[in-house]
Structure 1
Amino acid sequence: MELKLKSLMIFKLLFTVGLMVTARAGTPQTSLHQPFAPVDMGGEFTTTSKNAEDKTLAPYFYIPGGDPELDTMPLKRTDVDVNITGVIADVQITQVYKNEGKKNIEALYVFPASTRAAVYAMKMTLDERTIEAQIQKRDEARKNYEAAKANGQTASLLEQQRPNVFQMNVGNILPGDEIKVELKYTELLVPEEQIYEFVFPTVVGPRYSETPVLNAPAHEQWVANPYLKQGTPAPKNLNIEVRVNTGIPIDQMGCASHDVNIDYDGANEAYVQLNTEANKDFILKYKLAGKQIETGLLLYEGEEENIFVAMVEPPKRVKPKHTLNREYIFVVDVSGSMNGFPLNISKSIMTNIIQGLKPQDQFNVLLFAGGSQILSQDQSLKATARNKSNAIAWINGARGGGGTRITPALRRAMNLPKSEGTSRSVVVLTDGYISVETQTYDLIREKLGDANLFAFGIGKSVNRHLIEGMARVGHGEPFVVTEPAQGPSAAARFANYVFNPVMKNIEARFENVKVDWVTPQKLPDLFARKPIVLMGKYKKQRGLFAQPGKLILEGETVNGSYHQEIDFDAVQASEKNKGLAQLWARQQIRELADYNSLRNKPELVERITQLGLDYHLMTAYTSFVAIDSEKRTDQTGQLVKQPLALPEGVSNLAVGMSGVGAASAKSIQRKVRRGHGYRGGLGAPAYESADTALKVVPPRTPPKRALKGSVSMKTIKLTGAAEGVWVSQGLARQLRMIKNQYNRMLKLSGSHTGSIAVRLVLNAKGDVLEVFIHKDTLNDARFQRRLKALLKKAKFQVPSAKGVVKLKLRFDFQLNQ
């Protein structure tokens, strides 16, 4: 027995050393088809070397302590206010920075946003001064920011590092300063299988990079960011409020990521509140009554252009009578960031997908970290019961460790010989914590051929830009799975998409209406049941003999041809749809840049830059910069990078893993001695719907003894304009809405009475430039934010004002007797 164990250990040692040598040599690795041995892809990686030239960009751990006079965590709070009206979400993010140290600092904060976010505004507030940010070319904005910082002025700069990763710099935060930076973005919500989903990412996961530090471009430096170690308590300084207002009654709603309070107001409105730490995506889902979705045509007609957005409901999914023989190539990330919880999710998904394969199907599995291992080198395996069982055991024997070299793994997978007479699908499972997204997209375009690629994002804060991008260029669908229990339903959805696509060969054409800059230029096959979305510019025919303008969609379904028409003349353009222009421009930028390499394509760079400047949008080539006019210091601020929490479920192995991409011989020997062998599989968990978070909306009957309150307002001081009824008239609508918010607070929190003193700063036109809270005895932070948001929307008819008007008010809140 002892001899057999020693022989097995020697075999594993020689086998893994062989993997290490071939990985370093850059040649394909040995296959694992005889025998089906479990694999340990772990290793000890380093970010430093004897030569500085070999050091690569890498995240690192934040070490507390150091200079006691330096505030190393200047971001004190982030407030997120979300308004969802119909299919459009408008989001305001307020970041509050405060220097509680004794030295001047420059804060740098890397944070995520939606992949579809159209960032259109930013402003900075210092003391009672508000500076609206300007959109400028990226290099120009950085130059102006650095010049202002060197001159002792407080300034802020917002740059895009990826479509879903932004960097905020705030320079010259003096001791005692509190600076607020607000940014706004909008995005279109597209339901899938009749479920709407709003996602707000809260943290950027640590990225694996092989880029040498010495020649890393400026837009890649963000990768080297500090992280708190796993288990380190992160402050609960993230406040999220969501208001949903739909045209169709809400039937079900739930939060798939957090425990939240949902307050319903009538059949069509809901309010969600949350205070939490920034360590995982916030995911809110809801369904409308009767399984309906909001579809149709939205129009905006401006002075210089008209914009349309069409959302067309797809046909129902029908099970085909005959299906093609299929071949699946599974590419599974087992790197350090996947260790533990995320890898368990992958194992659950893989177990369920492989168990569901049909006997006529074929499959192969490739595991990758710094190197890669493949289940069968020569050809894919038939989906027999034995092969499926052996494959599951092999996958469940893997553990996470090492870097994330995704491009060599994908190249190897897509170069595998294809089985004749089959339709191939490549399936990638990863958290996406890499920095080579564009290179990955280029590789898929080059090597995928006529196959489809489906991408699974694994974890609670995945790189959605990579997951969505791989599926987009691979003509497949993205999935994001946050819990192991979702594995069965995710596998079932995947099988449904592959075997029962909704519609193929989709084409759009227009009659009697001139359209331009329509996106997408080519409609992909529809695997998931979600609306077909088209955006563009249009001009209707005019004149006595003008014919009605139409959008006509056609495609192929299992039941035959699909034909749908939408009449442009049956829809009225609305000023409320003004934001469609920014959504259209963002979609244009997404088509041109998000998933493409723009090296040696100056004409595309110029086009994207001009779109950003014309529509006041953040892009890779345009940035927002806000500069205070006052010189405040002669001292140079010390750069402080705000440390980030590790995403929930991600271990310390995710940080500091950049390097050569192969384990050292000593680490391999230690792992063999510890005997990392087969530890059993997860089995097949009982089926659980992916949307168990959705809860049926309770009946909208108010409590029998609900508390009710009243609100009164008094003008305390007015400068810059004459007194008059214009104050009460301008706030009449806001006063009703403030009362509604107060009663909602009473419903949620019980008895609250007190007063709030505010100061409004108006321009001569009566627009509210800023709202300041002077005194608040209600002591409810959420209500205070709502009050400020309502007051900012007020509009006054100021008599004979020539400049800035300052208005101090007091609101008194009391319970009705």
Structure 2
Amino acid sequence: MTAKRCKQLEYTAAGLLAAALIAPASQAAGLMTPAGGSLPELQLRDHHVAVVIEDGYAITTVDQVFFNPHDQALEAVYSFPVPEEAAVGEFTYWIDGKPVVGEVLEKARAREVYEQEKAQGRETALTEQDEYRSFDSRVYPVRANDEVHIQLVYIQPTHVDLGIGRYVYPLEEGGVDEQKMAFWTYNDTVEENFSFDLRMRSSYPVDTFRLPQHPQALVTRTDANHWQVAMDNGGTPGIAAAGANGALADDDITAGASAVPQTAGTASHTPYRLDQDIVVYWRHQQGLPGSVDMVTHRAPDSKRGSFMLTVTPGDDLGPVTGGRDWVFVLDYSGSMQGKYQSLIEGVSQGLHKLNPQDRFRIVLFNNGTRALTRNYVPVTAANIERYIRELESISPSGGTNLYAGLETGYRGLDADRPSAIILVTDGVANVGTTEKKAFLELLQKHDVRLFSFVMGNSANRPLLEGMAEVSHGFAMNISNADDIAGRLLQTAEKLTHEAYRDISIDIDGVKVADLTPAHIGSLYRGQQLVVFGHYWGEGEASAKISGKVSGREVEYRTPLSFPAQDTLNPELERLWAFASIEALDRRIDYLGEDSDSRQAIVDLALEYGLVTDYTSMVVVRDEVFAEHGIDRDNAARVATEQAARAAREAAPVRDHRQDGGAPAFNAPRATPGGGGSGGGAVGPWGLLLLLPLLFKRRTRRAQ
């Protein structure tokens, strides 16, 4: 894309974000029973979530109890989504009252072991990936009038955008897998005890927290570095009992005190439905400097260490101005029922915020496409009113021919005007061309950025994010529990300002390798850059971060310190491995599956204990692992990680900043509304007025 076009992209997606966020959930995480069958339902008795955010990543522990109120033994099947970038690496099943950690095997073998043990009536459990970020956990047997206890742990990097962090505990299913929905019925109700407990340990000062859809949550600041967010369904044991390492002890399910005050004289609870995502925002103190942080791990006597490098640029990206063309490509397939009217209102708001010199087109797609505007039309009140009326006359239906929608959107681009495509979809490509390679080749033919808004937890994120990467745009994941104003604010800042292009990182002084992502691409205003890698040797090194902004070369330098030993963050090994697996998955999606890439994924997953498309995690009795010749490598890794979490909890919060003595950036970090106005009917200064609404919250400072 030319420098001129790079400089002239501006905000327009406000209404689309609003539309994405108002929609009701269509499916949820929960226990599954074959629809129309004779098997009775199990009960989801307890569901406890403990989250720890520290050192640039989050550890989520989900502790559950399933109960069988019937007179026959049953199999429990629990379906759940996980967030993007989350690595599932720990699955525990309590057998005879003792926790047994699962081991990762190739998918077919794991299923074979599970079915063999199930056929013999012995305790077994299995977690496998279904598709994209959806997983299923199976547990057998849940004996008559008895319960089973399982625990799942996943880890993920955390990101701060324009000084605002975001964590999502996903529960809503997207409702786009019609075959799965037809086969299974879902029980998403926690009958007895539900709790959510998030603890943050941060070396950078945090001003406040916000949960847009859960105002009942209690936010507590214990000191400058420690925060807690807690909520339950009343009378729940476990919030206070869940330690800061995110794990629940064997007896914490039935003992402990809630951190949320209860009404005197009551011990009742209300059943809690797992049908709405829990979205948590936190806002860093304004005026923090741009920075370079690095977390490391190196086991004793190991020649190789792991690192996570996080670059938070200063606010060096200027605003852009000028007229441009906007193409709205909107999904109106059947899964958009219940969301479509909100989308119309969102498009109306978005069109009213365009500049008078802009032009727009609207393309709809389901089984086929419909070019609502045919050609570009000027932004006038009459045109906006006309095409909103036409949108209102259409009802969602049919499948999702995403390729046809994009292909139509790319037709008729004006080479003399800067252009951008705004895509909103909640589903998967299930009609017409569906191969990812074809989508990427389509985008490579056009010098136009694609900005995608991915609605829900079941969308084909690998495809949509891959397209954004190829076009040098971005894909933003949207939850129905998100803050409309907040996501609008973050998006507007990216479309109104310049961006970093062709970013590269060079490290001298210590040997480093296996960097992921290997190709960084673009970075937009307010975004952080996170890179994983390995290092050999020890001592001081230097890093050069270079790229282009509107065609001009930019360069930043920072010192780095690589320790000979650091044992407090062993999770970095899994985070590096999973980031590498995702890179291999993208290669397979683009070039097609080959034996080398597939085997590389399997090898990484087996070595680091990760559930993938090709590997699953199985639990059997301790002695049965030996019978099947299964080494207890993952159990050993989990023990190491749990010991490190306990050590971190007992230690002061660590400062991982590398450039404190020689700052890489002169300007402070970007914040909403900073850096000038990029034009448009509502500029960043107007959006800044939304901030007081963004962060109204219930916060109790600990005495």
If the length of structure 1 is used for normalisation, what is the TM-score? 0.63
Q: What does residue 71 of structure 2 align with?
A: 102
With over 3 angstroms needed to count, the CA separation of the structure-2 counterparts of 1:301 and 1:137, relative to structure 1, is same
User: Secondary structure in 2 aligned to 1:576?
Assistant: coil
With over 3 angstroms needed to count, the CA separation of the structure-2 counterparts of 1:91 and 1:315, relative to structure 1, is same
Contact 1:135 1:623 in 2 (8 A): yes
CA distance in 1 between counterparts of 2:424 and 2:509 reads 46
With over 3 angstroms needed to count, the CA separation of the structure-2 counterparts of 1:241 and 1:595, relative to structure 1, is farther
With over 3 angstroms needed to count, the CA separation of the structure-2 counterparts of 1:222 and 1:607, relative to structure 1, is farther
Q: What does residue 500 of structure 1 align with?
A: 497
User: Secondary structure in 2 aligned to 1:446?
Assistant: helix
With over 3 angstroms needed to count, the CA separation of the structure-2 counterparts of 1:450 and 1:531, relative to structure 1, is same
Work out whether 1:240 is the aligned partner of 2:240.
Answer: no
Identity of aligned residues (%): 24
What displacement does 1:235 show? Answer: 5.2
CA distance in 1 between counterparts of 2:173 and 2:481 reads 22
Q: Which range moved further: 392-401 or 687-696? A: 687-696
Q: What does residue 437 of structure 2 align with?
A: 442
Q: Choose the corresponding residue for 1:301, options 298, 323, 337.
A: 298
With over 3 angstroms needed to count, the CA separation of the structure-2 counterparts of 1:177 and 1:264, relative to structure 1, is same
CA distance in 2 between counterparts of 1:175 and 1:367 reads 52
With over 3 angstroms needed to count, the CA separation of the structure-2 counterparts of 1:430 and 1:611, relative to structure 1, is same
Contact 1:100 1:175 in 2 (8 A): yes
CA distance in 2 between counterparts of 1:261 and 1:488 reads 22
User: Secondary structure in 1 aligned to 2:620?
Assistant: strand
Q: What does residue 205 of structure 2 align with?
A: 249
Q: Deviations over 1:418-450 (max 9, x none)?
A: 212123322111223667999464333111132
Q: What does residue 362 of structure 2 align with?
A: 365
Work out whether 1:609 is the aligned partner of 2:602.
Answer: yes
Q: What does residue 49 of structure 2 align with?
A: 80
Q: What does residue 312 of structure 2 align with?
A: 313
**For residues 270-669 of structure 1, what are the structure 2 equivalents within 5 Å?**
270-275=227-232, 276-292=272-288, 295-302=292-299, 303-316=302-315, 318-320=317-319, 323=322, 325-340=323-338, 342-377=339-374, 379-414=375-410, 416-432=411-427, 439=434, 441-448=436-443, 449-458=446-455, 468-481=465-478, 493-540=490-537, 548-557=540-549, 561-569=553-561, 574-593=566-585, 596-597=588-589, 599-628=592-621
With over 3 angstroms needed to count, the CA separation of the structure-2 counterparts of 1:622 and 1:208, relative to structure 1, is closer
Work out whether 1:116 is the aligned partner of 2:85.
Answer: yes
Q: What does residue 27 of structure 1 align with?
A: none
Q: Deviations over 1:483-542 (max 9, x none)?
A: 699667655654442341332232222223322111111112122411211111122478
What displacement does 1:89 show? Answer: 0.9
CA distance in 2 between counterparts of 1:625 and 1:339 reads 38
With over 3 angstroms needed to count, the CA separation of the structure-2 counterparts of 1:572 and 1:560, relative to structure 1, is farther
The residue type paired with residue 154 of structure 1 is E
Contact 1:503 1:557 in 2 (8 A): yes
The residue type paired with residue 338 of structure 1 is M
User: Secondary structure in 1 aligned to 2:274?
Assistant: coil
User: Secondary structure in 2 aligned to 1:566?
Assistant: strand
Q: Which range moved further: 141-150 or 244-253? A: 244-253
CA distance in 1 between counterparts of 2:448 and 2:460 reads 23
With over 3 angstroms needed to count, the CA separation of the structure-2 counterparts of 1:691 and 1:607, relative to structure 1, is farther
RMSD: 3.6
What displacement does 1:201 show? Answer: 0.1
CA distance in 2 between counterparts of 1:63 and 1:627 reads 25
User: Secondary structure in 2 aligned to 1:329?
Assistant: strand
Contact 1:345 1:483 in 2 (8 A): no
Q: Deviations over 1:208-255 (max 9, x none)?
A: 46xxxxxxxxxxx756553469xx988576422111111123211111
With over 3 angstroms needed to count, the CA separation of the structure-2 counterparts of 1:161 and 1:700, relative to structure 1, is same
CA distance in 2 between counterparts of 1:592 and 1:481 reads 25
With over 3 angstroms needed to count, the CA separation of the structure-2 counterparts of 1:381 and 1:571, relative to structure 1, is farther
Mark the structure with the bigger radius of gyration.
1
Work out whether 1:190 is the aligned partner of 2:159.
Answer: yes
With over 3 angstroms needed to count, the CA separation of the structure-2 counterparts of 1:243 and 1:488, relative to structure 1, is closer
Unaligned runs of 5+ residues in structure 2 are 1-29, 233-271, 625-681
Q: What does residue 263 of structure 1 align with?
A: 220
Contact 1:486 1:689 in 2 (8 A): no
What displacement does 1:203 show? Answer: 2.9
The residue type paired with residue 602 of structure 2 is T
CA distance in 1 between counterparts of 2:481 and 2:157 reads 29
Q: Deviations over 1:547-569 (max 9, x none)?
A: x4222101233695432222223
With over 3 angstroms needed to count, the CA separation of the structure-2 counterparts of 1:481 and 1:623, relative to structure 1, is closer
What displacement does 1:580 show? Answer: 0.9
User: Secondary structure in 2 aligned to 1:185?
Assistant: strand
With over 3 angstroms needed to count, the CA separation of the structure-2 counterparts of 1:343 and 1:566, relative to structure 1, is same
Q: Deviations over 1:673-706 (max 9, x none)?
A: xxxxxxxxxxx9x97738844247868462xxxx
What displacement does 1:463 show? Answer: 6.7
Q: Which range moved further: 601-610 or 488-497? A: 488-497
With over 3 angstroms needed to count, the CA separation of the structure-2 counterparts of 1:571 and 1:386, relative to structure 1, is farther
Contact 2:499 2:524 in 1 (8 A): yes
If the length of structure 2 is used for normalisation, what is the TM-score? 0.73
Aligned length: 568
The residue type paired with residue 271 of structure 1 is Q
With over 3 angstroms needed to count, the CA separation of the structure-2 counterparts of 1:482 and 1:153, relative to structure 1, is closer
Contact 2:201 2:227 in 1 (8 A): yes
What displacement does 1:407 show? Answer: 3.2
User: Secondary structure in 1 aligned to 2:161?
Assistant: coil
Contact 1:432 1:464 in 2 (8 A): no
CA distance in 1 between counterparts of 2:432 and 2:75 reads 29
With over 3 angstroms needed to count, the CA separation of the structure-2 counterparts of 1:701 and 1:518, relative to structure 1, is closer
The residue type paired with residue 209 of structure 2 is M
CA distance in 2 between counterparts of 1:78 and 1:294 reads 38
Work out whether 1:136 is the aligned partner of 2:133.
Answer: no
User: Secondary structure in 2 aligned to 1:606?
Assistant: helix
CA distance in 1 between counterparts of 2:328 and 2:320 reads 26
The residue type paired with residue 601 of structure 1 is D
The residue type paired with residue 580 of structure 1 is L
Q: What does residue 680 of structure 1 align with?
A: none
With over 3 angstroms needed to count, the CA separation of the structure-2 counterparts of 1:460 and 1:612, relative to structure 1, is closer
CA distance in 1 between counterparts of 2:54 and 2:486 reads 30
